[in-house]
Amino acid sequence: MGLWKKTAVAALAIRALGPVISPRFRPPQKHPWRQPGRTVFVGDNEYLVREAGPGDAQPLVLIHGLAGSSLAEWYQMAPKLAERHRVILIDHRGHGLSALTRGRYEIEDAADDVAGVMDQIGVEKAAVVGYSLGGTIAQSFAHRYPGRVSKLVLMGTFSYHPAPMRTLRVVGAMLLRGFERLTGIGTSDARSMYLLATGAVERRHGRWLWEETHRRDVDAGAQATLAMLRFDSRAWIGSIGVDTMVIIPTRDQLVPARWQYELASMIEGVVVTELAGAHHETPWVYADRLTREIEAFLSV
């Protein structure tokens, strides 16, 4: 047996029989925001919901992005926003502590999930903030339930994927799913290491971030990616009729700024806020500024 075959056999044996190895994080380690949640049922599916802030304040729904969770992405902004709002954080399908969805679905289904969760917790209307993939869900929610959105904030998101990039990302998603199935290494590892390496997340939260990010299921993650890549709001985004702010990180490495400007150009009366030099990890790096910008927009 050649060297490469021996290496492959050894790798598969380790993957099948060996322990799961996690990195060691230098103490002291600390959970950044111990905000408990509860689950609610929408049909037969169970969703994790966290709430913070005064129960009688204006409701504000925060919708997180791909491969994350509501806690992992909003833990810096949510406590600040909760000083004036009833903040509602939802782990959407296939993410965080909500039900897995390994079958095909569309962004419209995830928007219906948000409406169902709001029904279960007694919220008829809310301001909605969507980040990245969450921005597509927020757009769809505003389109499908216009009377339930008081104001809309879209951050680091888009109206559609241009064909060449969509094709590349579909192929990439399929290859990545296969690699993760085989090796157990992939998106969760890269995401955690990147956020820690860039300083977006403090080192003292490293162990928590690793564990929170590794709740991800490979096949559920792939389905969410494919749903996002199929999303296209160009036919209707200009007619949603909701006061909207689009926040654009001008050096976004995942959602090119030109896509975000194009989205903003389709929305009548839109408020555009530019984060000059910012990359995609805005909820972590620019939490204070984003909180101020969102508060100012919601107060008008």
pLDDT digits over 182-199, tens only? 999 999 999 999 999 999
Q: What is the pLDDT of residues 218-263, one digit of tens each?
A: 999 999 999 999 999 999 999 999 999 999 999 999 999 999 999 9
What does the pLDDT read at residue 103?
Answer: 95
Q: What is the side-by-side strand order in the sheet with 85-90?
A: 37-42, 45-52, 85-90, 58-63, 126-131, 149-155, 244-249, 271-275
pLDDT number for residue 130: 98
Percent of the residues in the chain that have a pLDDT greater than 90, as a whole number: 91
Question: Looking at the predicted structure, is the pLDDT value of residue 205 above 80?
Answer: yes
pTM: 0.95
Cis check: omega of the bond before 28, within 30 degrees of 0: yes
Phi, psi values for residue 111, rounded to 5°: -65, -40
- Tell me phi and psi for residue 51, to 5 degrees: -130, 145
Scan for tokens 């599916």, then name that residue: 45
- What is the C-alpha separation between 279 and 256, in angstroms, rounded? 10
pLDDT of residue 7: 60
pLDDT-derived band at 286, boundaries 50, 70, 90: very high
- 118-174 tens-digit pLDDT: 999 999 999 999 999 999 999 999 999 999 999 999 999 999 999 999 999 999 999
Six-digit token string for 151: 């104001």
Q: Which domains occur in the chain, in start order?
A: 29-160+187-299 (3.40.50.1820)
Strands 85-90, 244-249: parallel, antiparallel or unpaired by DSSP? unpaired
Q: How would residue 14 be classed by pLDDT, with cut points 50, 70 and 90?
A: low
* pLDDT grade for 20, boundaries at 50, 70 and 90: confident
* Band of pLDDT at residue 12, cut at 50, 70 and 90: low
Q: Measured between alpha carbons, how far is residue 219 from residues 66, 104, 201, 224, 227 in Å?
A: 13, 10, 26, 9, 12
Do β-strands 45-52 and 37-42 pair in parallel, antiparallel, or remain unpaired?
antiparallel
The rounded Cα 119 to chain-centroid distance in angstroms is: 21
| Rounded Cα–Cα distance for residues 21 and 190 (Å) | 15
Taking the C-alpha atoms of residue 290 and residue 63, their distance in angstroms, rounded to an integer, is: 15
d(CA 214, CA 216): 5
